[in-house]
Amino acid sequence: MSHINSLDWLMIALYFGILAAVAWWVVRKGKDSSTDYFLAGRNLGWWVVGASIFASNIGSEHIVGLAGSGATSGVAMAHYELHAWCLLVLAWVFIPFYMRSMVFTMPEFLERRFNEKSRYVLSVVSLITFVVSKIAVGVFAGGVVFGSLLPELTIHIGGITIDSFWTGSVLVIVLTGLYTTLGGMRAVAYNDAVQVVVLIVGSALLTGYGLSVLGGWEELRRICGSEMFNLWKPLTPPGVESTWAPVMEFDTAGKLTRQAWYFNGYFPWLGMLFCAPIIGLWYWCTDQYIVQRALGAPNETVARQGSIFAAFLKLFPVYLFIIPGLICFALGKSGKIPELAGATNDAFPRMVQHLLPSGIRGIVVAGLLSALMSSLAGVFNACSTLFTIDIYQKWNPKASEAKLVSVGRTATVIMVLVALLWIPVVKNAAGLYDYLQAVQGYLAPPIFVVFFLGVFFKRMNAQGALWAMLIGFALGLYRMAVDTPVTLKLSGFETGYTPGSLLWITNNMYFQYFSVLITIVSAIVMVAVSLMTAPPKDSEIQGLTFATTSAAEKAASRASWGTGEVVASGLVLVLILASYLYFQG
């Protein structure tokens, strides 16, 4: 077993030194204004915008989850990565609306399009979603990395032992929170640009070393078989007769312990075809966590170019995170590295530990740390912006620029404390990672519906949007409330609900199907309520829908792009199509 040695620590220290230097430069350069703190003064370059979008998305939970999925179920999760086309929708469809309105946040855009109530609802739900999903999952995955790669971080104080999960998680959360609090969005974006380079180089080295030891790409395909190289999985796993026939699990005494209608680690084609694009379009086009980077651009041209660049970068995870999972499976199955046999969520850190030489191992560990820091920094900054702009400033409209920055920094500190409080929860709660993966599937659909119907159809009004969100979120929260005690194995819920009951059906319905159900209900509610109430006046939604965009605004948007953007977008689509054609088993 290979452990982190002096050369590896040197590489990690060098990485942190570079981050510290960048953060110090950014803090000194920053100005004491809300625009500078929350949107980096709206002067980020296209490459910084694109790199920051990509780095914020690729957290350590992404790497751990994708590699683990690759090791257990093959390339099925590549669907989510090949949704890079959603970033093209952001670039060509939504960027013009966002940049014309000059908003700070997505809830602020909803207020412009609908009303103030819509803004408050989205602000609160977004903050809840960030806390229970992005922060919790990020801390969990970071703990997996530290537990596997840096066990020496365990600290013994008297009779108390603080393991590496705690030590490493606290260290990274505090360091990330420090530069995010001081430097705001500018510090986050520029550090993201550095972290992307480390992440891509480190992961590429791991993939290359893995293929070299295994014997090449064709050997990988031979060992894994066609099924693991197939993007489109059947509705049911091999050996299961029906999607709707519950799978039963029994303990050694023969007692029924679980019945389920879905299968952990299995992604049927129907869910991927309909649910995954809904989640992708919500995430890439309407989520504050992502879109805030594009809002930091000085104009529509730069924002669009940055989004297209991010779409290109988004194609990398298929080959840098999922494929290493398959390599891990193949190396273990072939016996070339027996220690990798049976790897799941720890596939990526196990490969780093047993495959890479000194120095290179340190670079890859730095990449994993950078992924954790990027995702946490992004969520800290997004939460700070949402609270300050959408809640505090609405309550105190006369607050000075200095006061808004001060409140933003305080909000960031609070989010850091929340992340620290989450550590014992994610460390001890069995199954929390899988559960949190589904959370966005329950809360995203109504947001997707109100943004897309709101932009494409001017007849949609504030009442329709409000009721769509309220009912959609109620369905999502209901599902979360039903799932939570079973997922956390609280007393009395260890074996789930009574088979056949409504709660049992809810808990065991595949999460992607339930997400599609919420989407359909939200859309029906929005359309029905809007048609039953008065339409909005064109003057109130000028420039906020396609139908109410003036000829001058359309001309200005058309003048903001040229042949280069079109060609680059076409190249991304060609690469996506080529990947879909290749991964057919």
Q: What is the distance between the alpha carbons of residues 328 and 209, in angstroms, rounded to a whole number?
A: 11
Q: Give the per-residue pLDDT at 114.
A: 96
Residues sharing a CB contact under 8 Å with residue 103, sequence separation 6 or more, in sequence order: 109, 112, 295
Domain assignment of residue 554, yes or no: no
C-alpha of 132 from chain center: 12
Q: What is the pTM of this model?
A: 0.86
Q: Is 45 left (phi over 0), alpha (psi -120 to 50) or beta?
A: beta
| Whether 131 and 203 share a structural domain | yes
The answer to whether residue 558 sits within a structural domain is no
Domain assignment of residue 272, yes or no: yes
Which of helix, strand or coil describes residue 397? coil
Contact yes or no for 209/336 (Cβ under 8 A) = no
Q: Residue length, the chain?
A: 585
Q: What is the pLDDT of residue 248?
A: 46
Q: Are 169 and 423 in contact (CB under 8 A)?
A: yes
Residues 166 and 252 in one domain: no
**How many domains are contained in the chain?**
2
Return d(Cα 250, Cα 162) in angstroms, integer: 36
Say if 388 falls within a structural domain.
Answer: yes
Same domain? For 385 and 398 the reply is yes
CA–CA separation, 310 and 314 (whole Å):
6
Q: Give yes or no for a contact between 446 and 522, defined as CB atoms under 8 angstroms apart.
A: yes
- Residues 40, 188: one domain? yes
Residue 117 sits in the same domain as residue 206: yes
The residue with tokens 């079109």 is 566
Report in angstroms the alpha-carbon separations of 123 from 107, 126, 447, 476: 6, 5, 11, 16
367 CB contacts (<8 Å, ≥6 apart)?
195, 198, 199, 200, 201, 202, 203
Q: Are strands 160-162 and 247-250 parallel, antiparallel or unpaired?
A: unpaired
Smallest CA-to-CA distance from 445 within 291, 314, 286 is with: 286
Q: Which pLDDT belongs to residue 72?
A: 83
Same domain, 224 and 260: no
CA distances from 15 to 32, 60, 167, 238, 496 (A): 28, 16, 19, 45, 46
Task: Report how far residue 389's alpha carbon sits from residue 408's, in angstroms, rounded to the nearest whole number.
Answer: 9
Residue 557 located in a structural domain: no
Give a yes or no: residue 139 inside a domain: yes
Question: Do residues 463 and 533 touch, judged by C-beta distance below 8 A?
Answer: yes
CA distances for 504 relative to 92, 490, 495, 499, 508, angstroms: 43, 16, 10, 6, 6
Q: Read off the tokens for 78.
A: 């590549």
Confirm whether 555 is domain-assigned: no
Examine the domain organization and report whether 19 and 110 are in the same domain: yes
pLDDT of residue 270: 82
Per-residue pLDDT at 263: 43
Residues 298 and 387 in one domain: yes
585 residues of the chain, pLDDT tens digit each:
456 788 988 988 898 888 888 888 877 776 667 888 888 778 899 999 999 999 888 876 677 778 888 888 888 888 888 999 999 999 999 999 999 999 999 999 999 999 999 999 999 988 888 877 777 777 776 776 777 777 767 777 776 777 776 777 777 778 888 888 888 888 888 888 888 888 888 889 899 999 999 999 999 999 998 888 988 877 766 555 444 444 444 445 544 444 444 444 567 788 888 888 998 999 999 999 899 999 999 999 999 999 999 999 999 988 888 999 999 999 999 999 988 888 877 788 888 888 888 888 888 888 777 777 777 888 888 889 999 999 999 889 888 888 998 998 898 888 878 777 766 666 655 455 566 667 888 999 999 999 999 999 999 999 999 999 999 999 999 998 888 787 666 777 767 788 778 998 888 888 889 999 999 999 999 999 999 999 999 999 999 999 999 999 999 999 999 999 999 999 999 999 999 999 986
Task: Give me the DSSP letters along 61-120.
Answer: HHHHHHHHHHHHHTTTTHHHHGGGHHHHHIIIIIHHHHHHHT-SSHHHHHHHHS-HHHHH
Same domain, 389 and 475: no
Contact between 432 and 426 under an 8 Å Cβ cutoff? The reply is yes
Nearest CA to 434 out of 325, 370, 367, 344 is that of: 344
Q: What is the CATH number of the domain that holds 24?
A: 1.20.1730.10
Residues 340 and 433 both lie in one domain:
no
SS3 241: coil
Residue 517: the pLDDT is 95
Question: Is 13 within the bounds of a domain?
Answer: yes
Three-state SS at 157: strand
Mention every residue, 6+ apart, whose C-beta is less than 8 A from residue 264: 434
In terms of domains, do 154 and 222 share one? yes
Residue range of the domain that includes 19: 6-233+268-428+563-582
CB 23 within 8 A of CB 183: yes
Do 400 and 284 lie in one domain? The reply is yes
